[in-house]
Amino acid sequence: MLVWLVTLSLVCVRAMNVQPVANVPSGSLKGLKMLSTEGRIFSAFRGIPYAKPPVGPRRFQDPEAAGAWSGVLDASKEGASCLQFDSRLDSFRGQEDCLFLNVYTHDASAGAKKRPVMVWIHGGSWTSGSGNGENDIYGPHNLLDRDIVLVTINYRLSVLGFLSTEDAAAPGNYGLLDQVMAMKWVKENIEGFGGDRTSITIFGQSSGAVSVHGHILSPRSKGLFESAIAQSGSALCPWAILNYVGNYTKQLGVHMNCPTSSSVQLVQCLRTKNATDFIQFQKDLQVIDGSPTAFGPRIDVERREPFYPMRPEDIIRSGSFNHVPFVTGVTTNEAGFVVAKMTSKGTETIDAIKEDPAPAILYATGHEFNASKLQKARNVFDNYFPDRSNVNLNTLEAMISDGMFFQCAIDTVKLHTQHSKAPVFSYLYGHRGLLTYSMLFSSDLDVEYGVTHGDEIFLMFAIPFVPPLLVPGDIATAENLLDLWTSFSATGVPVKNNSNIEWLPAKAGEMRYMLIKDELAMVNGEYPFANRVSKWSDFF
């Protein structure tokens, strides 16, 4: 027995030391071996350029395909994150040359079994994050316990990704078009990594989920994927499409001493400026934490081939979108992390909201320049808090969740079930894990913020600073998530292994959803917050 174990260990060590090679239309690559959470050896090819560096004259331009490289590309290290301000580290990180992706696979050899492909689009309010796992939070080790090929991508953020003069000089949405370019690269090259190019699922969380939904709606993404998963975000959310990017672009021009009377001259001038100064400008704009986003997706009708040719709801009603199987849902207390941020600053933020809630509501929903919404914003607050002197944290979380996440979640399911030819699977994530996103902002463990925005990320990905899953409930919920997500990527139907529970799609006029916890439950009926969101009706 001992000899057998020693022999097995030596075989594993040798296998880990063999540098994997992949050959794709773009060229040859050398990666490295990794171990999945359950001990499966897999190959990682990281820092692969999918587009030309968006610098110099390519700044504020649509991405250009990287093309082939010469020689063998060293894909053993992660590429740089896109330039951003990291609030966790309170510093700038990344660089402008950042259009890289990572591929994780079980077998990149010629003739390998073709596995379903999952392409992850990270969140971060279009201002932060990356697809990396070693120097960010999207480690592949949990997902690579399963028979899939995982791709994670970077895309331009903030000013560099979304600046717009609202005309042909700079239509904006460059970060979204980066994602399209990455998806094209995957479609053309993934078979060289053992991936099935006819079975590609895009999935993402928060602004990554809005991006996923955007690709369902956009003609620019047609034919690049076969199914989609949007976690806690939709293109129908009030923070998903920005109305004032051009306004902030002019403010940036004035700040950078550039001419603003001509869009062409403004863009030419901004191409000569230090990119870090753009990120500093956006950071200095903040009125409340994270708002205004200022630079994000918009309806780019000035572009010859727009990403968003119409408002998202109009695209859905027209039926002119990509009809693919769609999983979409929310957590039970989405805005718990927002309230945690507020309380981390003492009573300052909540006292300001008590005094006048309108500014916070207008900035959070992207209506900061709409004076007609002032009184309606105050009315929303009064609907939840008839007595402003008594602001209960749980009710505050409910108010923000309703307006920012839950109303658009309901609308998304309703519209897609009415107009899509493909199934729509809705869910509610309700597992309160050992770790929760609110802990990143609040050290007060006596306050319970619920199951907040992003909590499922702790179970889906291997985060470098987070210990392995040890709590039985976390382990069971992670198994449920990985089973459902990876089976959906393979077949277009989410299935729990060794379970009789069937996830039925919602239908027009017939809402139902899967409650995802350590034990799954199919619920035939509306979301539990369905009646409460009407308190926002007049505002929207």
**Choosing from 78, 96, 166, 334, which is the catalytic residue?**
334
Which tokens sit at 201? 């699922």
User: How far is 105 from 117, CA to CA, in rounded Å?
Assistant: 9
User: How far is 451 from 397, CA to CA, in rounded Å?
Assistant: 11
- Site of tokens 């580290």: 89
Rounded to 10 degrees, the C-alpha dihedral 175/457/283/52 comes to -30
**Choosing from 453, 456, 487, 489, which is the catalytic residue?**
453
- Identity of residue 429: Y
Which tokens sit at 412? 């998304």
- Identity of residue 217: L
Query: Within 13 Å, how many C-alpha atoms sit on residue 360's CB side?
Result: 22
**Choosing from 81, 206, 234, 489, which is the catalytic residue?**
206
Clarify whether 206 is annotated catalytic: yes
- Helix boundaries (H) for 100-173: 158-162
Helix (H, G, I), strand (E, B) or coil at 379: helix
| CA angle at 27 for the pair 25 and 30, rounded to the nearest 5° | 130
Backbone angles phi, psi at 52, to 5 degrees: -65, 150
CA distances from 175 to 68, 99, 164 (A): 22, 10, 12
| CA angle at 396 for the pair 392 and 399, rounded to the nearest 5° | 140
Clarify whether 334 is annotated catalytic: yes
- Helix boundaries (H) for 193-262: 207-217, 245-255
Cα torsion angle, 58, 64, 69, 72, sign:
positive
Q: Report which secondary-structure segment, H or E, holds 92.
A: strand 91-93
Clarify whether 344 is annotated catalytic: no
- Site of tokens 């979409």: 328
Which tokens sit at 203? 């999935």
Q: What does the DSSP assignment read for 246-282?
A: HHHHHHHHHHTT---S-HHHHHHHHTTS-HHHHHHHH
Helix (H, G, I), strand (E, B) or coil at 291: strand
Catalytic residues, which ones? Answer: 206, 334, 453
